[in-house]
Amino acid sequence: MLTQIQHLAQSIAEQVVAHRRHLHTYPELSFWEFQTAAYIAQELTHMGLAPQKMATTGVVALIEGRHPEKKTVALRADIDALPIKEMNEVPYKSVHEGVMHACGHDAHTASLLGTAYILQQLRHEFEGTVKLIFQPGEEKIPGGASLMIQEGVLQNPAPSHIIGQHVMPQLPVGKIGFREGMYMASTDELYIRIVGKGGHAAMPDRLIDPVYIAAHLVVSLQQVVSRMAPPRIPSVLSVGRFIAEGITNVIPNEVFLQGTFRTMDEEWREEAHRRIGKLATELVSSMGGICEIEIRKGYPYLINNPALTARMRHAAQAYVGKDNVVALDLWMAGEDFAFYTQHIPGCFYRLGTGNEARGIVSGVHTPTFDIDESALILGCGLMSWLAIEELKHA
């Protein structure tokens, strides 16, 4: 079966690359992936599948092997792009100004389309059902995964496990990365408005300077991580936006801050929200200002089920060789795949897409991000193999 999958993956290499280039050329932002969803549904229909729409732009399809009721395994790809202007000069450069597949979701989608083709060809040779989930809105709260779950994507049939794949430019093409247990962080957004009393910068004694207050708050908020967080729990608090619309001799009336809080423990996450709010309001009040704070709760932290991930690591070693399977570090980025792992055991692994010799080294979420497209052939073949191997597990 392994050799058969590898041969099938190689036979569709040109088509999978074509899928990826089409999607890269015509990217769409979160929850606006209408043409992307239509393209996916069209390709699945050509394979003889019956795709269904969910969460407006999500697409779901089933591949039924022998005894389809025996077990169901879900495979997930995200389909949305980012509001980034592409700087690559390639034939498949984005034609939508300011929108780019800078996180590899085009590769995830193309790879899963390739996987769909392989599994459809082999459906008489495995038992069980594979549920294909093409999910919108990974990049934007509340996350397409949460909406898909609300609409019943984990029912009818209910998958026992779910597997997700994500590109990783830091890993050379040909390498696969796994981590068991805690892997990625929860992601919450901070929005803070500090109101003071503006005026002439030469008369600070007559004012309540919100810029001065905000500067203190940015520094003081680091206490949440450095002095309040349990040392065993990874935590990050970053302020990425500081808007103070004064000028050289004018202090504004208000300042706006935006940032993120991330961690890997749900109990501490809730406590941290309380402490952030208390610290901000009390500090600003003590300096004469008024603080308005909103914490928008994002994705939960992502945990890879240890038993499932160990099985997937072992299966990957059989497919690509033990030396090509590496251990991943904790990563404080977020992923809405985490919502699935709150309901069923999941495994979220990394597909190496970097190629230093060819200059393919840019990180995700950058305007020069690209992939070594040979990774797509490995991606679709490996995911097919992992799905079939998991269907064998009782």
Catalytic residues: 80, 138
Cis amide linkage into residue 157, ω under 30° from 0: yes
Residues 6 or more apart whose CB falls under 8 angstroms from that of 217 comprise 192, 194, 257, 280, 283, 284
Q: Which residue has the tokens 């497919």?
A: 319
Q: What is the spatial distance between Cα 112 and Cα 117, in angstroms, rounded to a whole number?
A: 9
Q: What is the spatial distance between Cα 130 and Cα 123, in angstroms, rounded to a whole number?
A: 10
Are 146 and 336 within 8 A, CB to CB? Answer: yes
Buried b (16+ CB within 10 A) or exposed e, 356-372: eeeebebebebebbbbb
Q: What is the spatial distance between Cα 55 and Cα 245, in angstroms, rounded to a whole number?
A: 39
- Beta bridge partners of residue 351, listed in sequence order: 167, 176
Q: Which residue has the tokens 């950058």?
A: 366
Cβ–Cβ contacts within 10 Å for residue 10, how many?
A: 11
Give which of 291, 239, 230, 238 is closest to 266, Cα–Cα. Answer: 230
